[in-house]
Amino acid sequence: EAGVTQFPSHSVIEKGQTVTLRCDPISGHDNLYWYRRVMGKEIKFLLHFVKESKQDESGMPNNRFLAERTGGTYSTLKVQPAELEDSGVYFCASSPAGGALGRSEQFFGPGTRLTVL
Partner 1 sequence: SQQGEEDPQALSIQEGENATMNCSYKTSINNLQWYRQNSGRGLVHLILIRSNEREKHSGRLRVTLDTSKKSSSLLITASRAADTASYFCATLNDYKLSFGAGTTVTVRA
Stretch that binds partner 1, among 13-21, 61-69, 74-82, 97-105 (CB under 8 A): 97-105
Say whether 24 sits in a helix, a strand or coil: strand
Cα–Cα distances in Å, from 82 out to 13, 89, 112? 8, 14, 15
* Whole-number Å distance between alpha carbons of 26 and 18: 27
Number of residues located near partner 1, criterion CB under 8 A = 30
Answer yes or no whether residue 7 interacts with partner 1 by CB under 8 A.
Answer: no
Choice between 20 and 106, CB closer to partner 1: 106
* Residue 80 DSSP class: S
Answer yes or no whether residue 74 interacts with partner 1 by CB under 8 A.
Answer: no
Cβ atoms 90, 33 nearer than 8 A: no
What's the min distance (Å) between Cβ of 16 and partner 1?
A: 28
According to CB under 8 A, which residues from 26 to 45 bind partner 1?
31, 33, 35, 40-45
What's the min distance (Å) between Cβ of 31 and partner 1?
A: 7
Angle, vertex CA 63, rays to CA 53 and CA 111, nearest 5: 65
* Residue 97 DSSP class: S
Catalog residues that contact partner 1 under the rule CB under 8 A: 3-4, 6, 9, 31, 33, 35, 40-45, 48, 55-56, 59, 91, 93, 95, 100, 103-111
